[in-house]
Amino acid sequence: MSLLLNIDTALETGSVCLSKNGTVIGSSVNHQQHDHAAWLHPAINELLHNNNLNAGQLDAIAVTIGPGSYTGLRIGLSAAKGLCYALHKPLITVSTLEVLASIVIDEAEQLICPVIDAKRMEIFTALYNKELQLISEPGAMVLQQDSFSDILTDQKVLFCGNAVLKIQPVITSTNASFTNKTPSALHLAPLAYQRFIADSFADLAYTEPLYLKEFYFPQPKVKGN
């Protein structure tokens, strides 16, 4: 049996949950992004207490590694690493984009494109298939009229995340569909469990948040190339 603590403070809503063998047994949510730091540790302690558990019984700590809010990512990862060091437990990290993609697998026809708001016309994104295999590496981009046009030419793509309202006016292809679902620790739990049973742990000393702060402008295609 595995008992995992799952932490997600990457975006506007923060959440933590306890899971046994990938099944959530208790959770807590914070909707005030500016309060994530003050909320997190008391929420973890209360969650353990309410389930008659202590931190020493945890088998691992899982956290969303980013991309997302600069401050939120540091809060979540710092808390997770601190607990791992204090309890001598392994660390599990999962991309926020992968967690987001996992939520909509049953809704997607072909490809899944999670999109996270990075302010102005910038987004963080990646591309997955229905088996949650990574097709396009996580990256940051500035939205333009031809964004994703090469993929949407012959494949159906489900866009999901808190940047959906931003990209809908830009992407007009009939192969595109949209849902504004957002990730939480509850969605992190089954992915963290998969990594736990595979002994896929992060390097506690060197793991850093996945910021993806460098932005790029997609190069326009030249006809005939």
Q: Which fold has domain 3-96+182-197?
A: Nucleotidyltransferase; domain 5 (3.30.420)
CA dist., res. 137 & res. 129, Å (int):
12
Q: In the beta sheet, which residues pair with residue 111?
A: 129, 157
CATH class of the structural domain 105-179? alpha beta
- Which H or E element spans position 76? helix 70-87
CA dist., res. 215 & res. 224, Å (int):
27
Q: For the whole model, what pTM was predicted?
A: 0.92
32-88 pLDDT per residue, tens: 988 999 999 999 999 999 999 999 999 999 999 999 999 999 999 999 999 999 999
58-69 pLDDT per residue, tens: 999 999 999 999
| Separation in Å, CA 110 to CA 10, 97, 133, 172, 189 | 27, 17, 12, 18, 24
